[in-house]
């Protein structure tokens, strides 16, 4: 009974994470502030939110938690910081749908990096999924070239590769608590964006939205996912993260009328279905290697 209750609680906590993440595109579309201002304020509020979470969780051992994460924590934080910066840049130069769909390919990039850096075998199913996704991505990026949004798609791909690098670090250091790395990522992003800001002037409206994005979207969302997914099979938590891609695109379509192009809809659907099927098949007991 206790085990079932714990499992259901983990499902709810993990599901809440992509729900938080999905508001990012809508939130950034709702502010009137320069790019690096968005990066700075969002990252700053994220860093302090996760720091408060760690203080409440670890109390006097908070500093020790950062020390225990060691160099893997620094590496993970750096990759996440790069991801956060590229995420905002992608949303300033392409549609939310393009940015989220391309970001969602991170697990497949992780498989490629795992093969290249760790000599992990890529199964036939994973290889087929990579080929299908690459073809769909080429179609989507080609459409963006015509529409003048290629820079956003490029940032989205770097975002996916940065997330894939973070996945590799996590996979190699499963025994290390990397929540401090999430906190570190927020402060790194804020520091990097600081000299690039043109002004610190910001309206109460924009500050409220960016504080919500930093605290809830990335801060709370990341803590919820790390906490909940520990008790779930990797494939199941991987499937739940796909909610961000679908819901994030849906929110901007409903509330501000940002409609994806036909090619984006078709390519995005192919990519999401391919990732979902791959995750499901990759979770079979006979499988020797897992993407997530």
Q: Compute the average pLDDT of residues 126-139.
A: 89
Q: How many CB atoms are closer than 10 A to CB 84? A: 25
Q: Are 102 and 272 in contact (CB under 8 A)?
A: no
Give the span between the Cα atoms of 136 and 270, in whole angstroms.
Answer: 7
Give me the count of residues in the chain. Answer: 292
- What pLDDT was estimated at residue 43? 97
Report DSSP state, residue 232.
S
* Amino acid 259: pLDDT: 87
**Residue 34 φ/ψ, nearest 5 degrees:** -65, 160
Mean pLDDT, to the nearest integer, of 108-135? 85
| Rounded Cα gap, residues 179 and 32, in angstroms | 31
Rounded to two decimals, what is the model's pTM?
Answer: 0.87
Query: Using one digit for the tens of pLDDT, what is the confidence trace for 179-224?
Result: 999 999 999 999 999 999 988 999 999 999 999 999 999 999 988 8
Q: State pLDDT tens for residues 49-108.
A: 999 999 999 999 999 999 999 999 999 999 999 999 999 999 999 999 999 999 988 888
Mean pLDDT for the chain overall:
88
The confidence score (pLDDT) of residue 51 equals 96
- Say yes or no to pLDDT of 290 above 70: no
Quickly state the pLDDT bin for 8 (edges 50, 70, 90). confident
197, 92 Cβ separation under 8 angstroms = no
Instruction: Place 291 in a pLDDT band, splitting at 50, 70 and 90.
Output: very low
**Reported confidence tier of residue 142, pLDDT bands at 50, 70, 90:** confident
> Which region among 91-95, 137-141, 271-275, 285-289 has the lowest average model confidence (pLDDT)?
285-289
Q: Would the pLDDT of 283 be above 60?
A: no
pLDDT digits (tens, 9 = 90+) for 153-183: 999 999 999 988 988 888 788 788 889 999 9
Cβ-based neighbour number of residue 154 at 10 Å: 18
pLDDT value at residue 284: 54
Helices (H) and strands (E) in the chain, counts: 13, 0
């Amino acid at each position: 009974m206790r085990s079932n209750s714990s499992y259901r609680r983990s499902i709810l906590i993990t599901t809440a994470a992509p729900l938080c993440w999905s508001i990012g595109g809508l939130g950034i579309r709702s502010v009137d502030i320069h790019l690096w201002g968005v990066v700075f304020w969002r990252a700053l509020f994220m860093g302090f939110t996760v720091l408060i979470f760690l203080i409440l969780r670890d109390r006097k051992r908070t500093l020790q938690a950062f020390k225990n994460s060691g160099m893997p924590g620094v590496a993970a934080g750096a990759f996440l910081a790069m991801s956060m910066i590229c995420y905002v840049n992608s949303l300033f130069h392409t549609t939310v749908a393009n940015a989220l769909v391309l970001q969602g390919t991170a697990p497949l990039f992780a498989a490629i990096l795992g093969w290249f850096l760790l000599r992990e075998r890529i199964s036939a199913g994973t290889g087929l999924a990579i080929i299908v996704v690459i073809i769909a991505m080429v179609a989507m990026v080609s459409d963006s070239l015509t529409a003048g949004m290629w820079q956003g798609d490029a940032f989205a791909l770097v975002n996916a590769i940065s997330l894939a690098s973070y996945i590799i670090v996590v996979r190699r250091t499963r025994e290390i608590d990397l929540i401090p790395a999430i906190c570190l990522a927020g402060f790194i992003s804020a520091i990097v964006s600081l000299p690039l800001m043109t002004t610190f002037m910001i309206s109460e409206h924009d500050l409220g939205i960016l504080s919500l994005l930093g605290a809830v979207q990335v801060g709370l969302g990341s803590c919820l996912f790390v906490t909940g997914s520990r008790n779930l099979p990797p494939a199941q938590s991987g499937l739940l993260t796909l909610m961000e891609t679908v819901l994030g695109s849906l929110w901007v379509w409903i509330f501000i009328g940002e409609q994806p192009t036909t090619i984006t809809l078709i390519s995005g659907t192919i990519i999401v279905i391919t990732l979902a099927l791959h995750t499901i098949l990759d979770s079979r007991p006979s499988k020797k290697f897992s993407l997530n």
